[in-house]
Chain A
Amino acid sequence: MPIEVVMPKLGLTMASGTIARWIKRPGEAVREGEPLVEVATDKIAYEVEAPATGTLARALGADGDEFACGDVIGTIALAGETDTPVPAPTGTSTAPDAVTTDGAARIVEAPRISGAANGVAPTAGSSTTPLPAERGNGERVIASPAARRLARERGISLRGVRGTGPRGRITMSDVITLRQAQGDIVAGHDSSDGRREQYAPVGAPAMSPRDEVTLSLSKGEMPSRLPRSRRAIYRKMTEVGFLPLAQVETVARADALKALIDRRRDFGWTAFAVYAVARLLREHADLRTDATTGAPFERIDVGVAADTPHGLIVPVVRDADTRSLAEIQREIVRLAGLAREGALAPDDIGGACFSISNVGPQGVERVAPLPDSPQTAILGIGAATQRPAVVDPSTGSGQAALTAAWMLTCVVSFDHRFVDGAPAARFLAAFAAACADPGMLL
């Protein structure tokens, strides 16, 4: 009996998924565990593995077709079975009704109805449509493990790069050269061995420009040529564009924090922000209000905006209020690496109670990001830079004077339906105090 391939449910909230592309063609032999079809949700692409060894008999749905979770999207014929690929949508299959014999493996007979009768694009459509070239060795990036790690940490794509090692292998020095050519796109400690390279996730350039949002406000339809990876952002930004958003902003003194980061070198600005925000959110419950219930989120999971080749993605540091700075740093590096490779697991995203966007790595001083619904508030931080500051006359000679100090611009944007200005300001002031005196949280 052929084995069914179903649209997987990749997370608690996933109801449906889209066929991104069939990796195997109908008629092609597949081995259990081999990537079979790539499906996409709003945020992630996921390779579905073949549930059995045999021949891909049917591949329902063409690129872009949406299926509910649990729907059959294909079948695999086991060795010796005659369920060969259907060459044309004849609709006269003679297979008996599907019979589920085992909840775990869902072994069923071939479905009776053809793709067309099922309201799905005819099977033949996908079997005759030329599929995109498979990822062959020619496309594989050849890079040393250390070079890959360095590139991941620095947010550099190695695709299309030719290295100077044997067979064109990309080595660490190639990545370092590449970064210099790209003009230091990520701030970090400039140690040439790259071991303790600080990672700061690239911020969310797509978040602020209002014009992108307003463009769509008048229309209900999503622009037809919008890439799939942008659709979720499009939907969310349209939604958030109607909200009564307000902001509070302050400039934090960050001399002590800068010194700490330089000295410890095992965490960066983003990790500190996650750490501090998570601890402050325990008390400042207003700032973690869940817009779907109106009550605070219970778990303090903090989202971190990451810039990736697929656009803005916000992976989540779970239970950030119970983790050490170094753990948070490691988790951010791990998540950012996966985000860039499009390899985030469904549980790596979603469910945050609050998010952070850091545009510091781009050298920009200020960002006013938009809350990621159903979250109701978000913190934006920019690059810490040396700016003129007034020396407090009470601590110095008794006279106000100008000096250079490390300053960090912080903005909290919030949904005024749930959060008021005063609690947001108290939260922001507490965050600024933590930047000025990080020791009080550590």
Chain B
Amino acid sequence: MARTISFSEATLEAMQEEMRRDPTVFLLGEDIAKQGGIFGQFKGLPQEFGFDRVRDTPISEAALVGAGVGAALTGCRPVVDMHFADFITCAMDEVVNQAAKLRYMFGEQCVVPMTLRAPDGITKSAGSQHSQALESWFVHTPGLEVVVPADAEDAKGLLKAAIRSDNPTLYFEHKALFPQKGAIPDDGDFVVPIGKAKTMRDGKDVAVVTYGITVARAMEAASVLEADGIEATVLNLRTLWPLDFDAIVDAVARTHRVIVAHEAVRVGGVGAEIAAFIGEHCFDELDAPVVRLGAAHVPVPFAPVLQEAMYPKAPMIADAARRLVRREI
């Protein structure tokens, strides 16, 4: 049995179910209680759980995340909404030096089961300061888990897993995905395990290793390629740390030609880590260099035409796949 709901509703259900299941789960954020969140992803929750468990906060990310870390240390499971992922920069000390380190600094005497919801990505000319995909910074920081849902199923299953995780978890959700509808299992206890990738489709000619909104773009490319007789594997990583290395090795070994694609800036992106891993561990499986697709190394432009030209979409992925399969790369 499956139902079709929006990505936004899927995240709402995840929080609702986890709050019913565990009284220590509560929500912190700007404009989440009275307004219901800018994407409606918190609507109705104060009515069921009260304003103590769905709290509006002042506009201070440092205070907001700091409060979350403190609450987590005392045994709560806070979900902290960053409004826009870009604003994590105002709380970097709380995330990088506190949340990520405390379990280690105190010799496992405490854990920090905090979830940071971080709406990110390029949409509707939001401009350079409201459009970024910053996940690679946090993959680089030991002590954090990083998950990136690609659709409604991931959105619900990964958010539930993040809330249940004893580690601080960054949950990067692409703003353009919120209204997207998708099927989710009816099982109320359905969870997407952290650290496991999902093969969205299986093809022998080329593999696209990707995550988040780029999964849909890769799937669109794969449909176009299928018409050309090219069979593409699409691997949805779901979690960026801990990475599902086994799934990556398997995708490389089945296809021998790999594209790593994401909306984040290509330089220093998560794709660089994956490409390097493939070079180190799958060298003998490669029939062509790994192709990395990512955003140009420029601030996200406000101008719609420029904005649309700067990150990988289905045609760019399909083009790279064709060139790989034709052995032009």
Contacts and interface: CB of A to CB of B under 8 A. Distances in A.
Contacts of A165: 288, 327
Contacts of B256: 144, 146, 172, 193
Contacts of A193: 204, 254, 256
B287 interface: yes
Contacts of A171: 287-288, 327
Residue of B253, B327, B328 contacting most chain A CB atoms (<10 Å): B327
Contacts of B204: 193
Q: Could you say which interface size class chain A belongs to?
A: 10 to 19
A436 B254 CA distance: 34
A166 B328 contact: yes
Interface stretch (B14-22, B126-134, B191-199, B278-286): B278-286
B329 interface: yes
A273 to B, nearest CB: 26
Contact of A144 (B253, B254, B287, B328): B287
Contacts of B254: 193
A164 interface: yes
A145 interface: yes
Q: How would you classify the secondary structure of chain B's contact residues: helix, strand, loop or mixed?
A: loop
A384 interface: no
Interface string A171-200: 111000000000000000000010100000
B285 A145 contact: yes
B327 A147 contact: no
A228 interface: no
Nearest to A144: B287
Contacts of B286: 144-146
A148 B287 CA distance: 9
A347 to B, nearest CB: 23
A160 B329 CA distance: 22
B259 to A, nearest CB: 16
Contact of B253 (A164, A173, A195): A195
Interface in B184-215: 204
B287 A164 contact: no
A149 interface: yes
Residue of A146, A148, A193 contacting most chain B CB atoms (<10 Å): A146
A148 B288 CA distance: 12
A153 to B, nearest CB: 10
B284 A145 contact: yes
A146 B327 contact: no
Interface string B308-329: 0000000000000000000111
B283 A145 contact: yes
A148 B329 CA distance: 17
A147 B283 CA distance: 11
A173 B288 CA distance: 12
A146 B284 contact: yes
A171 B256 CA distance: 10
A29 to B, nearest CB: 32
B284 A172 contact: no
Contact of A147 (B253, B287, B328): B287
A165 B323 CA distance: 11
Given A193-B254, A195-B253, A164 B327 contact: yes
A166 B287 contact: no
A421 B299 CA distance: 83
7 contacts: A144-B286, A144-B288, A146-B285, A166-B327, A166-B329, A173-B327, A195-B253
Interface of A: 144-149, 164-166, 169, 171-173, 193, 195
